[in-house]
Amino acid sequence: MSLGIDYASVEPTVPSDENLSRLRERIFGFAASRLSREAAEDLAQETMLVLHEKYAHVADPAELLPLAFQVIRFKMVAAVRKSVRRGEARSVPVEDLPLASREPDPEKLAARAEMRTRLLAAVAALGDRCKEMLRLKLEGRSFEEIRRHFRAASINTVYTWDARCRKSLLERMGGNWEEEP
């Protein structure tokens, strides 16, 4: 729809530098009240560029100010939409993330050292047959090999000894493998 104005034949009147400076300050203030300072700077600059390129024929401050605010509103909505689409709205700054360490967790190291101390004390309190049986199991010997080592008549005897040794070890550990008694 044409309003009967041929903008190509109309000679543009350029607003003064002072008016443009005030206009830029106002649209920057408006954007900065709703967005970060950096984003407001960018949007104010883009708005001024649009006003210069597409609306050079508008020189009256009474028309230019509402036009500038309309353009900056559109720019702000587009910037927010773009940020949401890219996932920037819910992203966490890299500076806020803890760095992953290749070193073991000190708390886990301390818990493991305590467990080792408790386990060594409990093993030391076991009888000779249980200590020997644990040593053979840690070497990877099968129950049949352990039976032959102890010269037991039946493998079921070895199973019984193993169950009793584990039960005794667990009692000496406080009844729980994880917590201190």
Give the model's pLDDT for residue 1. 45
Please give the CATH topology (third level) of the domain spanning 106-172.
Answer: Arc Repressor Mutant, subunit A (1.10.10)
pTM > 0.85 = no
Residue 132, C-beta contacts closer than 8 angstroms, at least 6 positions apart: 149, 150
Give the model's pLDDT for residue 181. 46
Question: In the numeric block, which tokens belong to residue 92?
Answer: 């966490």
What is the Cα–Cα distance from 91 to 139, expressed in whole angstroms? 52
Question: In the numeric block, which tokens belong to residue 172?
Answer: 């000496």
pLDDT digits (tens, 9 = 90+) for 43-83: 899 999 988 888 888 878 788 888 889 999 999 899 888 88
pLDDT digits (tens, 9 = 90+) for 85-138: 888 777 777 787 887 778 888 888 898 898 899 889 999 999 999 999 999 999
* Whole-Å CA distances, 141 to 11, 38, 67, 146: 100, 70, 87, 7
Residue 152 DSSP class = -
What is the Cα–Cα distance from 55 to 60, expressed in whole angstroms? 11
Contacts for 158-165: CB closer than 8 Å, 24+ residues apart: 158/133, 161/129, 161/130, 161/133, 162/133, 162/137, 164/130, 165/126, 165/129, 165/130, 165/133, 165/134
Question: Where do the structural domains in the chain lie, given as residue ranges?
Answer: 17-90, 106-172
What is the Cα–Cα distance from 31 to 10, expressed in whole angstroms? 32
CA angle (116 as vertex; 101, 168 as ends), nearest 5: 145
